[in-house]
Structure 1
Amino acid sequence: MQAHLAAQDDDMWYVITDGQMKILKMNTAAITTEGAPQMVEKHRSEWTDEDKKKENLDNVAKYIIYKTLDKNMFAKIKTCTTTKEIWEKLTQLCEGNDHTKENKLTVAIQKFDNTKMKPGETLAEFNERFSSIIIELISLRKDYSNREIALKVMRALPREWDVKP
């Protein structure tokens, strides 16, 4: 049963990333030069229950995506006809192109570099603000070592936090 669900998940992801599944069968009448049978599309009258489920995966995937979007985001993708189109549009809207990603990364690195604890800010408030910057950097595929992060935190603290000799 678990293997069946894993295969169905793989099929669902295929529909999202590669497009509608084609229901195929072997064409035993034609043999390729390598001796392997040629694949041709099955006629609807030949579909099994499993074939029907696979063919419907695009609709299932669209429904799942629709249910997760707010009205504003739905309005931006409602003209897309396949799950693949929806996924590509959402990726573009949420991540942007390579230039946009690079700009976001540059801004996030500047935030990291310029982070200082504000006057009157508690350590908990600073930690929350600093953690959100780290999460943003990780989402943009920029990782800092624990040592780099610890050093940054130490440098970000105000002078009154310095160790007294």
Structure 2
Amino acid sequence: MAPENQPTTGPSTFIGENYHIWVIKIKAYLKALNLWEVIELGEPVVQPLRVNATLNEIKKYDELVTRSPRALTCRHSSLTNVMFTRIMTCEIAKKAWDKLKEEFEGTSRVKSVRFLALKREFELLKMKDSDSVKEYSSKLMENVNQIRILGETFPDQKVVEKILISLPDKFE
């Protein structure tokens, strides 16, 4: 049985597809285990224990020393064998994270180009007479969610305006 306030299931497995969705899930999982900070900031500098350390100081020391290996273990357990071989030489959780991120998300330049393409697609998207409002809004939201996954802010108000502007005459 899992301790209180701990996830009861492991992280979802990354098979090489839908990286952006998997990142959101594994990030939430690591946050629930209080391990995300190790990925975000790297390994903490841990001061050696003093000679007559208290039980609390020993527990805190053990927690700090094992955080990165625990985060790395979570990463390992969330990958298929094929994906694992890409990071198996990384001994630090942050390096493993950064390596997969660079491979599947790309550099900031690649993200910027992708964002511009998605933004252009959003601007050019029009509702066809044969589309239902539900179908059109689904297409639009798929585009917007891809933009948001790249870390760009995209206000809901802009989406609503786009839908209202794009409605064919039959909806007037």
TM tier, smaller? 0.5 to 0.7
Written as runs of structure 1 = structure 2, the 5 A alignment for 1:98-113 is 98-113=108-123
Contact 2:127 2:166 in 1 (8 A): yes
Aligned alpha-carbon RMSD (Å):
3.2
Specify the alignment match of 2:125 in structure 1: 115
Q: Distance in 1 between matches of 2:79 and 2:126?
A: 36
Q: Percent identity?
A: 20
Q: Distance in 2 between matches of 1:142 and 1:102?
A: 13
Q: If each structure's strand is expressed as a fraction of its own residues, which one has the higher value?
A: 1
Q: What is the aligned counterpart of 1:21 among 27, 44, 51? A: 44
Larger-Rg structure: 1
Which segments of 5 or more consecutive residues in structure 1 lack a partner in the other structure?
Answer: 25-40
Specify the alignment match of 1:66 in structure 2: 76
What is the Cα deviation at residue 99 of structure 1? 0.6
Q: What is the aligned counterpart of 1:143 among 135, 145, 154? A: 154
TM-score norm. by structure 2 comes to 0.64
What is the Cα deviation at residue 119 of structure 1? 5.0
Point out the more displaced range, 75-84 or 108-117: 75-84
Q: Distance in 2 between matches of 1:72 and 1:112?
A: 35
TM-score norm. by structure 1 comes to 0.67
Specify the alignment match of 1:85 in structure 2: 95
Q: Distance in 1 between matches of 2:149 and 2:128?
A: 25
SS of the residue aligned with 2:131?
coil
Count of equivalent residues: 139
Q: Distance in 2 between matches of 1:16 and 1:101?
A: 21
